């Protein structure tokens, strides 16, 4: 009986529950579909077997796990109108949830680092971004994210607890600044690193662009081979800039998705507006959709591959087979 009282929501309006059940379910379904398309396109296309796209692939896998894990517990609790999963899963839910969120931010940071070193420090790019170093980065990130949460799990620093005003297990503010430090370490610090890298990238790109323009006048006087190399350099420069802009757009969408929740954590610690908390939660899930949408909209090559895969799927369904066409036959 005590357990039932412990996990029963208080001052929790039906509108908060329904906002998660309806809109949250739609966002989770869309995120799973879009990220599955993203994974298929990247994994099946050799042109995308590069370091930036590998991080995007991991980002999509993380997004699917995050949406499913988060959606099952949050939507399930709102359907049941109480936390029905018990204390152990309460601790596990928050630990894994925060680990996935932290891992996502660090993936974006590593993605930014890959662009930064490729553009600004080409000589050491291959030394840092090889299989061994990338594997080390990923392992370190997981260990750091999980290790940070264990302090709260074992009540050493911070606390995870059921919040009846949210009908959800989450950080519980006990005045030890664990919540603030978690936000700084998993969001603010990576974001500052990302901003620094992209500022340096665009400064260098802007400088290179001015150099290319200054040489444009001399192109008519250059030999044919030199002119061709100059054009190839411009084309490569343009592709790198487009990809960088795509990565910047993904980071911006991430920040916009998380910003409302961050504001509420600071401005509404007592959870006086649970409906806004649930809307902010759904907005966090929405980033799992935006990363694929940004890729499709801003990356022409990815868009073409994506449409080709969808067209192939429709064609296979039409002919009741899962095998692609070969020489006009199935």
Question: Which run of H or E residues covers position 260?
Answer: helix 224-267
Angle at which helix 131-153 crosses helix 86-120, to 10 degrees, equals 150
Say how far apart CA 107 and CA 297 lie, in whole Å. 21
Q: How far lies 265's CA from each of 150, 252, 257, 268, in Å?
A: 21, 20, 14, 6
pLDDT in tens, 92-145: 999 999 899 889 999 999 999 998 998 888 888 888 999 899 999 999 988 888
Each domain of the chain, given as residue ranges in start order, spans: 2-195+252-298
Q: What is the pTM of this model?
A: 0.84
pLDDT in tens, 33-76: 999 999 999 998 898 898 989 999 999 999 999 999 999 999 99
Say how far apart CA 195 and CA 133 lie, in whole Å. 23
CATH architecture of the domain formed by 2-195+252-298: Up-down Bundle (1.20)
Say how far apart CA 65 and CA 219 lie, in whole Å. 52
Residue, of 245 and 218, whose pLDDT is higher: 245
């Amino acid at each position: 009986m005590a357990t039932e009282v412990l996990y029963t929501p208080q001052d929790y309006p039906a509108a908060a529950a329904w906002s998660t059940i309806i809109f949250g379910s739609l966002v989770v379904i869309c995120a799973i579909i879009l990220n599955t398309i993203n994974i298929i396109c990247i994994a099946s296309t050799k042109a995308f077997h590069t370091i930036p796209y590998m991080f995007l692939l991991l980002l999509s896998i993380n997004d699917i796990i995050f949406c499913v894990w988060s959606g099952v517990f949050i939507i399930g609790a709102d359907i049941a109108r109480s936390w029905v999963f018990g204390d152990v899963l309460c601790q596990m839910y928050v630990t894994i949830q925060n680990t996935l969120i932290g891992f996502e931010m660090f993936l974006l940071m590593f993605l930014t680092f890959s662009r930064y070193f490729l553009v600004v420090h080409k000589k050491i790019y291959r030394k840092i971004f090889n299989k061994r170093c990338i594997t080390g980065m990923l392992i370190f990130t997981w260990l750091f994210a999980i290790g940070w949460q264990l302090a709260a799990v074992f009540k050493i620093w911070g606390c995870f607890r059921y919040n009846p005003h949210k009908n959800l297990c989450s950080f519980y503010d006990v005045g030890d600044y664990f919540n603030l430090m978690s936000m700084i370490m998993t969001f603010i610090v990576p974001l500052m690193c990302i901003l620094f890298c992209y500022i340096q990238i665009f400064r260098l790109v802007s400088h290179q662009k001015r150099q290319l323009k200054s040489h444009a006048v001399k192109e008519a006087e250059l030999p044919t081979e030199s002119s061709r190399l100059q054009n190839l350099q411009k084309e490569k420069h343009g592709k790198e800039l487009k990809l960088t802009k795509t990565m910047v757009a993904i980071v911006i969408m991430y920040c916009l998705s998380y910003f409302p929740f961050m504001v509420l954590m600071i401005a509404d610690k007592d959870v006086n507006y649970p409906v806004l908390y649930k809307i902010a939660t759904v907005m966090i899930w929405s980033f799992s959709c935006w990363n694929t949408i940004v890729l499709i909209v801003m990356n022409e090559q990815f868009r073409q591959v994506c449409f080709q895969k969808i067209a192939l799927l429709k064609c296979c369904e039409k002919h009741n087979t899962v095998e692609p066409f070969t020489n006009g036959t199935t």
